[in-house]
Structure 1
Amino acid sequence: MKAAVVGLGVEGIKATKALLDYGWKVYATDLQTEIDLEELKISISDAKISTYDEKINISTNNLTIDLGYLDECEIDSSDAIVISPSLCNTKIAKKALSSGKLLSDILDKHKEIFTIGITGTNGKTTTSLILKEILENAGKKILIGGNAGGGFEGYYDLILKAEKGNYDIIIIEVCDMTLEFCDYAFNFDLVGLTNIGNDHIDVHGSIENYKNSLLNFSKNKTTFIDKNQIYLKEFKESNQINELVEYDESNYDLKLFGKFNRLNAGLATAIAKVLDVEDFIIKNTLGNFEPVEGRLKEFKLNDSKIYIGKTDNSDAVKSILNEKYFYATFIGTPRSNEEHRFEILDTVASHNPEIIVLFPGLEDTVEFGLYRLKSIGYEGRIEIANNLDEIISLLAEYSHEDAIFIGGNGQKNIIEIQDRLELLTKNCN
């Protein structure tokens, strides 16, 4: 079987890798030439590489890649077509849709399996993994995955795995930017909505547009929503939602910090109860659930409690800073073109920590962050940490204060800090 992968962003690369792992031949293409292909592990000695007119062709036994252009004949001759979710409304996507050759149509076993979608701005990964553990402890065989940018192997990996395995339930973390794609590619029975917050506004245009996208995604589905959600009334008034179920914070013991995580646990609990999972299974699972890598974890260093996790939008940061006062706040910076993410610094400054430390997150935009803090009139101390060693040095310096928070953008960097802190706290404590 041969597949054509159109668009080599994170999801396209993950799809290409998954298809190759399952023995497919792949034609992959992207109109950009500066694409990171490292994850595909192409052997330079085995590959044929040619360039002309700023176009690049890479060819191996089972993989052909065109960068800077696409070959429509290669796409038309493929047995299945993979479209990057970000290209969902483009001409090439509409053509693939009309052909009936999208991978989600060619391989459709996943559409026969009971499917739960977890979406919203923050808390999707934690909620999905809590629910997975609850259902597995109840004896169900679970397939879990979702948005490749969120840490999973991508939506197409789910489709391929479902075709080969026997699963009772699929749990999918649905990124807010891929709602339309996922609604087409999967048959959702239940939808869990974590929250509606300030992220990807450059894509949605406004919170109102984002909310409307979620309402549309919830059509004909049983949907779970926080009982205090500000848009609850509009969801209640929608006559197209199959059933609306309200949830609240979990009252069970958790190893997770904060009200937001009690809400994540509450959503997973509400879904599990609708699926007739016994209460003692839910309670025991929640009591033993460990924080997710890259998400909020707590460390004790000298006199200080350090809270660290990816919080890549202002609402995520606000939910943590509302819990307690932090003497120092370390923030990983966003990409230069993500203006809305710099609002994180406005939120941090409004909570008036003694010190704000900026470090490179998704990009080294520390100077942008420094300018932002000065322009909004933050009067505290600002430090710059250019690398992991400098971050750890400052943490040691402040570790006799009550509480420190490390967050913002750059999950990879935040995981590296978590790993170093784990070693450091074991040695010190």
Structure 2
Amino acid sequence: MKRLEDFTYHHALILGLAKSGTAAAKLLLDSGISVRINDYKANPEDPVVQDLKEAGAEIILGGHPVSALDGIDVMIKNPGIPYDNSLVAEAEVRGLPIITEVELAGILHKGPMIGITGSNGKTTTTTLTHEILLKSGKQSSIAGNIGEVSCEVARRTNDQDTLVIELSSFQLMGIERFRPTVAVLLNIYEAHLDYHKTLENYRQAKAQIFKNQSEEDFLVFNIDDPTIAKFIGEANAQLVPFSTMQKLDKGAYADEEYIYYNGEPIIKRDEVVLVGEHNMENILAAVAAAKLNGATNEGIINVLTSFKGVPHRLEFVDNIEDRLFYNDSKATNILATSKALSSFKQPVILLAGGLDRGNDFDELVPFLDHVKAMVVFGETAGKMQQAGEQAGITAIKKVDNVEQAAQAAYELSENKDVILLSPACASWDQYRTFEERGNMYVQAVHKLK
């Protein structure tokens, strides 16, 4: 496996273990770099901790002492740790570089790289791009938020591999040299303001994806997104737009009949399996990114006529007595839920709620016009109920969790109804991840049989 050969630092502090911290620590140790690890919650008896200690890492657990920064020349921060963390703030005062592990992936991987970010649709677009490249006979590896840690995957790639990475704003804030040959900007919507504090900070974090690109690189972007349109001129890369609303001579677009790339019709829309207008945006972005990396029309057609989606993103679960159950647990903000609701014409019973990040749900109200009932849960249950009442929904039930929500929704439903888990909130008030939340819902649906 590859090692870091041109890493400019010698004494690294890994702040926060989890998957990304563990992978970064192993890579640095294998590369002969001094590693100190600081984690507030990790168990000293954890085999991972013991293995890293035996490999030569210094371990500091149970707190964040300022002395952990002594003798350090770079901090590699878990993306989820905010910048107002005491140790991160002190590192900034000391002028220490603060990076995330994706920076290490960018150093390791010498072949083409596609970086994909946006408020919504990252996982679907990343998966589609990867699958299209594979079906086109290209070598492709997939990494990032979607599964394996980026630097771990980058250790195994070769120069012929295209590395396709799903990137969060948290990861992008911690880059120095990271430079995708193709960057993809799907959309920007108010999200993660508990972390970024302002929409402008969030926008700037997303814009990091193209900050190191040159005129040799490409930036695939949503020309229909007004927020993106405001700052796209800052990019040095060649601009490749996509649109669901307008005809384009360059880039990817769709009309009522076909999907096009650079004006060439590739596939009829009615042959595409993946549902939802928002997914058409993801498809167009993936087509453009894959085409820029040598994908064939045959590869695109093969994937789009068979790809039904990714787990927890408008995932069809089951049909029980003519009720259609969908799992959209990955919808962790209002935009994602509004797009999920827009995917259905028939009556919907919406299951929603979760972590309270301080926002209300007024923007969701216009999309509740065909929602006949709501089942709400989590910290935002009260706010969700208010939004439902504002939309004129009278059948609203409050429950404790998604398992109870599945049962309650079934009791409220009739033939032909869609029962949709699309929380519009993060899961961390009750569940460790949106995957755990979605899995609990899926299990509860199967029990209804």
TM range (shorter): 0.7 to 0.9
Instruction: Say which of 339, 345, 349 aligns to 2:358.
Output: 339
Within the alignment, does 1:418 sit opposite 2:442 as a pair? yes
User: 1:354 — aligned with what?
Assistant: 372
> Cα distance 1:339–1:351, how it changes in 2: closer, same or farther (>3 A)?
farther
Within the alignment, does 1:386 sit opposite 2:386 as a pair? no
> Cα distance 1:21–1:290, how it changes in 2: closer, same or farther (>3 A)?
farther
> Cα distance 1:5–1:331, how it changes in 2: closer, same or farther (>3 A)?
farther
> Cα distance 1:344–1:124, how it changes in 2: closer, same or farther (>3 A)?
farther
Shift of 1:166: 2.1
TM-score by length of 1: 0.76
CA distance in 2, matches of 1:404, 1:67: 43
CA distance in 2, matches of 1:106, 1:43: 24
Shift of 1:21: 5.9
> Cα distance 1:405–1:105, how it changes in 2: closer, same or farther (>3 A)?
closer
User: Which letter does structure 2 place at the counterpart of 1:224?
Assistant: V
Moved more, 137-146 or 62-71: 62-71
Instruction: Say which of 36, 39, 61 aligns to 1:27.
Output: 36
CA distance in 2, matches of 1:328, 1:231: 30
Superposed CA offset, 1:87-144 (max 9, x none): 667441564439xx99778886425222111011100011001101111222333232
User: Which letter does structure 1 place at the counterpart of 2:62?
Assistant: L
| More helix by percentage | 1
Given that residues 349 and 378 in structure 1 are in contact (C-alpha distance below 8 angstroms), is that contact kept between their aligned partners in structure 2?
Answer: no
> Cα distance 1:130–1:27, how it changes in 2: closer, same or farther (>3 A)?
same
User: 1:199 — aligned with what?
Assistant: 191
Q: How does 1:226-237 map to 2 (within 5 A)?
A: 226-231=222-227, 233-235=229-231
User: 2:76 — aligned with what?
Assistant: 82
Given that residues 127 and 264 in structure 1 are in contact (C-alpha distance below 8 angstroms), is that contact kept between their aligned partners in structure 2?
Answer: yes
* Equivalent residue pairs, number: 389
> Cα distance 1:284–1:161, how it changes in 2: closer, same or farther (>3 A)?
closer
Instruction: Say which of 307, 323, 348 aligns to 1:304.
Output: 323
> Cα distance 1:320–1:106, how it changes in 2: closer, same or farther (>3 A)?
closer
Given that residues 21 and 78 in structure 2 are in contact (C-alpha distance below 8 angstroms), is that contact kept between their aligned partners in structure 1?
Answer: no
CA distance in 2, matches of 1:416, 1:378: 29
Shift of 1:315: 1.1
CA distance in 2, matches of 1:240, 1:388: 43
Within the alignment, does 1:170 sit opposite 2:163 as a pair? yes
User: 1:52 — aligned with what?
Assistant: none
Q: Look up the SS of the partner of 2:226 in the other structure.
A: coil
Within the alignment, does 1:14 sit opposite 2:37 as a pair? no
CA distance in 2, matches of 1:368, 1:274: 47
> Cα distance 1:277–1:374, how it changes in 2: closer, same or farther (>3 A)?
closer
Q: Look up the SS of the partner of 1:144 in the other structure.
A: strand
Superposed CA offset, 1:378-422 (max 9, x none): 54111123245423322432152432221113312123213443x
CA distance in 1, matches of 2:69, 2:172: 28
Shift of 1:302: 1.7
TM-score by length of 2: 0.73
> Cα distance 1:144–1:91, how it changes in 2: closer, same or farther (>3 A)?
farther
